[in-house]
Amino acid sequence: MKFTRRKAIIGGIVGGGLLGVGFWFARERDRLGSRKLLNIKPGEVGVNGWVKITRDNAVIVAVPRAEMGQGVQTALAMLVAEELNARWDQVRVEDPPEDAVYRNVDILIDGLPFSPEEAGTMVDMAHWMAGKLGGVLGVLATGGSTSVRDAWLPMRTAGAVARDLLLRAASRKAATPVTDLVAVDGEIRRRDGTRVATFGDLVDSVEDLAIRPPPALKQPSEFKLIGRPLPRVDVPAKVTGTAVFGVDVRLPGMLYAAVRNAPTFGGSAIAFKLRQAALPKGIEKVVIVPGGIAAVGASWWRAEKFLDEGIDIQWQAGPEPALDSPTLWKRYEQLLETGAPALTRTLGSAKAPTGGQVLEATYRAPYLAHAPMEPMNCTALARKTAAGAPGIDIWMPNQSPTLMRLAAAKTADVAQAEVVVHTTFLGGGFGRRAEVDLVRQAVTCALAVPDRPVQVLWSREEDIRHDMYRPMALARWRANIDIAGPVPQLAGVAKRQVAQSPTDQFPARTVGLPAQGQPEGNAVENPPYAFPSYRLEAIVADGSVPVGFWRSVGHSHTAFFDESFVDEIAVALKKDPLAFRRELLAGKPRHLKVLETAAREAGWGMPLPAGSGRGIALRASFGSIVAQVAEVAVADGKTLQVKRVICAVDCGPVVNPAIVKAQMESGIVYGLSAALYGEITLAGGAVEQGNFPDYDAVRLADAPEMAVHLVDSGATFIGGVGEPGTPPIAPAVANAVFAATGKRLRTLPLRLA
């Protein structure tokens, strides 16, 4: 069945013919790219598609991933600098033009709905096809915690090839055999240590040298930069206020546009009427855009006011204009009882256990908005190319220039080659900025005012009410406990889970592919525990509420369901939650080490004041294993404070430990905001929340003290770090609340009263 589904996806994408065709790269060196690929300015020379050297001795690394805070510019530049033997303080980064060599293959592979430990021909085939697809389509994207894994070999190879070229250039210049030369700290030296040339001295000497097959890459023991907490390349601009985000783009003659989106999902604006005879001063145009209406003018603030006060809009309602949350929960409860699973998976004993003591628990997670600090925006310009053909420029904080270009080209009905996407810094992404809704609206506005750039910006209210939400989800866990013997034993577990599928919706709304009716892969990953038997039934709900990729995607709710219930089983068996997990992880040394590190560093078992408790949770996601221990204090039985969070992570080889730690803290705080406050509810087909006062986030005053411990298990697989810190925090806190109060909270957000 699964195999057929893979074929259907690939057939759908290729058959749709929507994306530009690139080519397949068989080997890493095929991703080197041409030295002509980069924008070469005077005083610079391109060494390959990833590296430029400047006459003033800077090394400029092409980083084709979106910097949204995760430190990707720094981490990827370190890969090149390492093999090149550059000095860190001579390294700068640049966004390269879009090209297939910069595609992200791992993001596609991670999108497949397998649990990562599954192996076999079918899974291998699916991975191979996704890789093939990545090569064919050249998807340039940032997400899925995949950037370092994808870049690990190609970018190091690019650095090694550049080093080889510089060594040969120096050899020729100094008439010294290349075998007598070494690259050290941004210079070429003789083996006796005397300098032959800085990298910058060789700018005029490398251009005519042929690229040779790459030399061997370094062994990890030879790394000088990788593994060190080097300073981030983006920090100085971000503390002086000079970093350019999407909203900071300023272009000659630029106009601003404010938007009102249709109140109900899937709705649209069909007509409007001005309240006065003419447009007020400063408003140039009213444009009906996909999903809403825009006012275009000289001031965004003025355009906002005009949409509030100067215009009556006639809306076409979406398909479910009366939808509300209680009705939706009832629908999900019905599906939980009687819905046909889209995916059923059994592990361990084939025969599901019956009888004994039955432990059952039902868990709920709400819709969540992403709410990145930078509200949604996109700047577009409709212009003529030099040859007179219509073209589009896009300036945008986005997670996938490939998709943005495609959406812009479709909206404007121009060739993809005539669309240029300029990616700015992202003021947060979290999955929201892989969506194409803003680019469609901005291009529609731009077409209405040709040759003038238009910056479309949503208010925070539009952002919260018109997101692609983390799906709401419902799960029922069941455990059968054998009580025939002297000591109760766990006989088996089973779970039914209901949620919409972002991996179904996303391709449908971005490129028009038919939905496959399958659950999102992360939502159905198996817990790592050696249960005697395990059965999963995943039911896919349909519905008009748009759902998308929210930091850690399905792990964000499934980890809460799974890790809460493991705690409940431990309690039922009268076992310590840590000891019970250790038993079930006996065959998983990496998981065990992470779990034990977190427990030890948190002082698991040490006494706490009355009203306080510790909870533990473990989740493997995106190739990394993370365990967290939360320590909470509950006052008056109702006020919950998370005092401390201890986190242990095994993400395989670490490029920059400071960034890994920062990402864990980041994931914890993002997940904690959701666990304590995050809830999007519906009434009358629309979202009830609108801004931070009713969709709150953790602030300094409620941010816990955090400590992150990196666990080195010697694993060579490169795990992600942008997302894996998020899933364990909600269950760790819920389990701590139980330890503190004896009250089991099975609904997110966690509310005591």
Partner 1 sequence: MISFTLNGQLRQVDAEPDKPLLWTLREDLNVVGPKFGCGVAVCGACTVHVDGTPVRSCSMATGDVAGKSVVTIEGLSQGQLHAVQRAWIENQVPQCGYCQPGFIMAAAALLKANPKPTDRDIDDALSNICRCGTYGAIRRAVHRAAAILGGAS
Which CB atom, from 310 or from 339, has the smaller least distance to partner 1? 310
Q: Indicate whether 703 belongs to the interface with partner 1 (CB under 8 A).
A: yes
Looking at the Cβ atoms of 146 and 459, the one nearer to partner 1 is 459
706 is an interface residue for partner 1 by CB under 8 A:
yes
- The yes or no reply on residue 40 touching partner 1 (CB under 8 A) is no
Phi, psi of 656 (to 5 degrees): -135, 100
Structure tokens, 561: 């369901």
In the complex, the smallest distance separating the C-beta of residue 176 from partner 1, rounded to whole angstroms, is: 40
Task: Tell how strand 311-316 and strand 268-274 pair up.
Answer: antiparallel
Binding mask 93-132 for partner 1 (x = CB under 8 A): ----------------------------------------
136-144, 271-279, 307-315, 688-696 -> range binding partner 1 (CB under 8 A): 688-696
378: exposed, middle or buried (Cβ count in 10 Å: 0-12, 13-18, 19+): buried
Q: For residue 90, what is the DSSP state?
A: G
> Residue type for 622, please?
F
Cβ proximity of 3 and 122 under 8 Å: yes
Residue 528 beta carbon to partner 1: minimum distance, rounded to whole angstroms: 26
Ramachandran area for residue 38 (φ above 0: left; ψ -120 to 50: alpha; else beta): beta
Give the 3-state secondary structure of residue 200: helix
Nearest in space to 604 (alpha carbons), one of 739, 746, 745, 737? 739
Q: Are 276 and 311 in contact (CB under 8 A)?
A: no
Rule CB under 8 A: say whether 668 interacts with partner 1. yes
CB closer to partner 1 out of 92 and 172? 92
Show contacts with partner 1 in window 346-385 (CB under 8 A). Answer: 371-375
Measured distance CA(512)–CA(283) in Å, rounded: 34
What stretches of 70-151 adopt beta strand conformation (E)? 91-94
Q: Is 691 in the site for partner 1 (CB under 8 A)?
A: yes
Instruction: Report how far Cα 685 is from the mean position of its chain's Cα atoms.
Output: 28
- Residue 38 or residue 729: which is nearer to partner 1 going by CB? 729
Tell me which of 479, 698, 732, 736 binds partner 1, using CB under 8 A: 698
Strands 357-365 and 473-482: antiparallel
Choice from 88, 152, 199, 256 touching partner 1 (CB under 8 A): 256
Q: Considering only residues 125, 182, 217, 247, which one is a binding residue for partner 1 as defined by CB under 8 A?
A: 247
Shortest CB 551 distance to partner 1, Å: 10
Shortest distance (Å) from residue 629 CB to partner 1: 16
Asked if 239 is part of the footprint of partner 1 (rule: CB under 8 A), the reply reads yes
Measured over the CA atoms of residue 566, residue 568, residue 571 and residue 572, the dihedral's sign is negative
Separation CA 530–CA 534 (nearest Å): 9
User: Which residues from 289-328 bind partner 1, rule CB under 8 A?
Assistant: 298-302
Q: How far is the CB of 724 from partner 1 (least distance, A)?
A: 14
Residue in the block written with tokens 């431990």: 570
Query: In this chain, which of 459, 480, 516, 621 binds partner 1, going by CB under 8 A?
Result: 459
Three-state DSSP at 102 gives helix
Measured in Å, how far apart are the chain's first and last C-alpha atoms? 46
Contact between 699 and partner 1 by CB under 8 A: the answer reads yes
Shortest spacing between CB 70 and partner 1, in angstroms: 7
* Number of neighbours of residue 211 by Cβ within 10 angstroms: 15
Per rule CB under 8 A, is residue 700 in the interface with partner 1?
A: yes
Segment interacting with partner 1 (CB under 8 A) among 262-270, 412-420, 602-610, 664-672: 664-672
Query: Residue 13 is which amino acid?
Result: I
Work out which of 59, 670, 676, 723 binds partner 1, going by CB under 8 A. 670
Chain contacts with partner 1 (rule: CB under 8 A): 67-71, 231-232, 234-243, 245, 247-248, 250, 256, 298-302, 371-375, 425-430, 457, 459-460, 658, 662, 665-670, 673, 691-693, 697-701, 703, 705-706
